[in-house]
Structure 1
Amino acid sequence: MTEISVRDIKVICEDNYQLAATIFKPTQNIKGAVLIGPATGIKRQFYANFAQFLAKNGFAVLTYDNRGIGDSLYGSVKDSKASLQCWGQLDQPAALDELMKCFPKTHYHLVGHSAGGQLFGLLPNAKQLKSIFNYACSSGRLWNMRLSHQLKAHFFMNFFIPTSNALFGHTKAQWVGMGEPLPKQVAKQWQTWCNGSGYVKMAFNKSIEQHYYEELTTPSMWVNATDDDIANDANVQDMLKVCPKLSAQTLTLKPEDYDLTEIGHMKFFSRKSQALWKLPLEWLEKHSA
């Protein structure tokens, strides 16, 4: 494995909002450049070990905090105007532009986690991606979940979110183990999209007037786990219907096949799950040749 350097930077969005980001750079020849799209309410530090792994195997990596999250929150979260939509229309495109600026003349890839891989069709520069590797990315539709988890999901989405927003001006997602405190509009949009079919499709011809889901043909791998109650097989397929021309493969992991007790929605990027990291590495190497 090659040596790497790590440095924090600022990414400037089209509306001049500054995102906190980190660059992981191999000191030797670069095979390609990877943007890691974070899940809802998850800080970029969560992906640091995985990013270092990719960098040590020759891939430059950029991780970032969406606006309103982690080091990209300025002031109080209740004053943040962030939404899921602007994460896809402003934040991720700016992060990809920065990746291309830092590492010109190479192939660019998205490794998306949950929302970080669901919003790609909102990026005006999405066609710059040579490939997409998504983990736990699905529509998150509540009605496709098994009944026992559906009850928990309905409580969070349809009671906890509106109640927390009304009482505190934001969603205290950290109280129920759902990441960082969420800006009001992020949580409200999340609630709306997961209550329907096709996730982001719920906003087409409403708040979203232009998107690229129906024209992208990018090679993509959609990976989920049997113990993930959110991104189950039905919800992965529900999301794929939004992007009918996408060159998509799917893979469902069983924890026991990798000597793991759980993978779920979050553990793929855990250091304890390094046995799984060969999957995105092999994908990236294949699509950087």
Structure 2
Amino acid sequence: MSDPVIRDFIAEASDGYPLSLRLTSAAAPTVAVLVSSGTGFPKGFYDRFARHLAARGAAVLTYDFRGIAGSRPENLAAMQMDYPDWGRLDMPAALDALVAAAPGLPVVHVGHSVGGHFLGFMPNHHRIERHAFVSVGSGFWGRHHRSYNPLELFFWFGFGPWSLRRHGYIRGGGLWAGTDLPRGVWETWRRWCLKEAYFLDELKDRLQPHHFEAVTAPIRSWIFTDDPIATPVTSPILLQIYSNAPREVVVRAPADYAVPRIGHEGAFRKGMEGLWDEMFDWLVEPSPAVPS
């Protein structure tokens, strides 16, 4: 098996913001895969997954949202942005970069957590043929597993406000295991997660314009029995915003892949190759022909 071709590069979003991208590709790819990260996950977190898909013939683009890891500005505390910018500006730019890097190939998408939430903000979503969601569910804390609630509430009312006062951003490490987060990400995320509607109620006004109802590409959403966030309750709540897309939820357990834990982030860790093949097989299978 030959090693994948890996190229790191910068692409600008439509507002001129520079984004850090990584293309991991087979020598002669047959499909292009866009991987959109969860909140606070750097693109390098998905390297093993990208290499696995490249070994199966894919060109895989991973990238850092603005404010995260390689796309972080020098002064994060001074950064002005809003959470939905990731969907409105960064995801479209990454998709355009992938299409340019892999011309003529069919494009599919893997969205982890918020990477699935924000698909409907992309004005160019129609260029994607299928979406595999991973650990995607409503962020409202009150519908998450009860055991997780104390940690969430401390993050929203204790650690987060303290970190903003001390640093001007959410510092990674300790309670928050992700990367440093810009203020604009955390404040909007907090607002949504503290209300039952999450961001769904804002789609009619505050979050206009958007394209959620225009998404028609099939969505298959994988969730896991030990994930306290994306559950059989919260996943369908989120998916309802893609009202015109064929969509289904697939529930898997750690035992299905002979691993002790998956949780909210473990789907992309070593040992989950069986899941990766399952997702890839679905992403590349031919869509049913439309009757003439």
SS in 2 for 1:22: strand
Q: 1:138 to 1:54 in 2, by over 3 A?
A: same
Looking at structure 2, the residues matched to 190 and 287 of structure 1 have their Cα atoms a distance apart, in angstroms, of: 36
Looking at structure 1, the residues matched to 199 and 127 of structure 2 have their Cα atoms a distance apart, in angstroms, of: 21
The answer for the alignment partner of 2:7 in structure 1 is: 7
Looking at structure 1, the residues matched to 266 and 134 of structure 2 have their Cα atoms a distance apart, in angstroms, of: 10
Is contact 1:131–1:287 with CA below 8 Å preserved after alignment?
Answer: no
Structure 2 unmatched runs, 5+? none
The one-letter code of the counterpart of 2:244 is K
Is contact 1:218–1:246 with CA below 8 Å preserved after alignment?
Answer: yes
Q: 1:4 to 1:20 in 2, by over 3 A?
A: same
Alpha-carbon RMSD: 1.7
Q: Which moved more, 1:278-287 or 1:181-190?
A: 278-287
The offset of 1:187, in angstroms, is 0.6
Q: Output one character per residue of 1:102-138: Cα deviation in whole Å (capped at 9) or x when no partner.
A: 1122211110111111100000001111000010111
- Aligned runs of 1:139-288 on 2, under 5 Å? 139-287=138-286
The offset of 1:288, in angstroms, is 7.8
The offset of 1:242, in angstroms, is 1.6
- Aligned runs of 1:43-192 on 2, under 5 Å? 43-192=42-191
1:27 corresponds to 2:24: no
SS in 1 for 2:271: helix
The one-letter code of the counterpart of 2:128 is L
The one-letter code of the counterpart of 1:159 is G
Is contact 2:217–2:246 with CA below 8 Å preserved after alignment?
Answer: yes
State the aligned residue count: 288
User: Structure 1: which 4+ aligned runs deviate by more than 6 Å?
Assistant: none
Q: Output one character per residue of 1:195-227: Cα deviation in whole Å (capped at 9) or x when no partner.
A: 224533243244421111122111011001000
Q: Output one character per residue of 1:87-106: Cα deviation in whole Å (capped at 9) or x when no partner.
A: 01000000001111111222
Structure 1 unmatched runs, 5+? none
The one-letter code of the counterpart of 2:160 is I
Is contact 2:143–2:234 with CA below 8 Å preserved after alignment?
Answer: yes
State the TM-score, normalized to the length of structure 2: 0.93
